[in-house]
Amino acid sequence: MPSIFTRIIDGEIPGRFVWRDDTCVAFMDVRPLNRGHVLVVPRAEVDHWVDLDGDTVAHLMAVAHRVAEAQQAGGLAPDRVGLMIAGFEVPHVHVHVVPISTMAHLDFSNADTSPDPDDLDTVAALLQERLSGSG
């Protein structure tokens, strides 16, 4: 059975994409740890990130870096951008790229389970614009 991320990538489930290429996608997390939380997900359905080939890992990190730059420049005003690969929630590698002002913004128990859909759309559009402008 495909993971929920594969179903999002394949368009079975809607997603707010900010990046798409042949190797990975990036989309807004629907349970954000903080405003602007993005997941960078390889198209290949691999459970544990250490099982990815090195080129894919490097590409995921490069895309996460570009997303972080867009988050910093995109009016979200984080003190930092946190990066995390946990891997327990969904058995499909995903890199959390989270604008943060405190360590609490990296605590899954603080996730917003009912984010404003309009705000998710607004932030997605802002990040898409920044990312498309960055080349």
Q: How far apart are CA 64 and CA 70, in angstroms?
A: 10
Structure tokens at 40: 């960078």
Which residues share a beta bridge with 99?
81
Least confident range from 49-53, 54-58, 73-77, 78-82: namely 73-77
Contacts 24+ apart (CB under 8 A), 54-62: 56/23, 56/24, 59/23, 59/24, 60/23, 60/24, 60/93, 60/95, 61/95
pTM of the predicted model as reported, rounded to 2 decimal places? 0.96
Q: How confident is the model at residue 71 (pLDDT cuts 50, 70, 90)?
A: very high
